[in-house]
Amino acid sequence: MPVSIPTLAQDQLLRGVLCVQGKYDFAVDGGAQSTIAITSGLPIPSGSVVIGGYVDITTQLTSGGAATIACQVNAANDILTAVAVASWTTGRKNVLPAPTTGALTASTAVKTTADRNISIVIAAADLTAGVFNVVLYVIPPLA
């Protein structure tokens, strides 16, 4: 029986692995302390496994204070643990679900328990600028 895989706007299917993207832009999303959903298309389906990805910061994040930013899909800090705004400089950064010494382990993968968006959590102070993309590699459930 063929497997039905949802079509996600701006996302690609690569041999059974979804490339799910989200974008944060201060000019569009604001920077108040809060949780902001940034998924570009449909949510990541329930039962999917996030196996890796990266954050690509195109405009450095700034804050009027000591803001922290975390990224999550299923639970707090599961994609990127809260990090001080000073660390959000331009360039690509690793996310938590990642191969360890060349082999993906169950402890590094994130499994969704419901349909989920990529979200960021801004805490401790408001952001005043910044733009970044989150790219996650996701294996959808079989049924």
Sole residue written with tokens 């679900």: 97
DSSP-H helix ranges across 1-143: 26-29
**Could you tell me the pLDDT band of residue 100, with boundaries at 50, 70 and 90?**
low
Domains and CATH numbers, the chain: 23-99+109-139 (2.60.120.1110)
Q: Are 139 and 49 in contact (CB under 8 A)?
A: yes
Facing residues of 103 across strands?
100
Output the pLDDT for position 41. Answer: 78
Whole-model pTM: value is 0.84
3-state DSSP assignment of residue 2: coil
Output the pLDDT for position 10. Answer: 44
**Could you tell me the pLDDT band of residue 61, with boundaries at 50, 70 and 90?**
very high
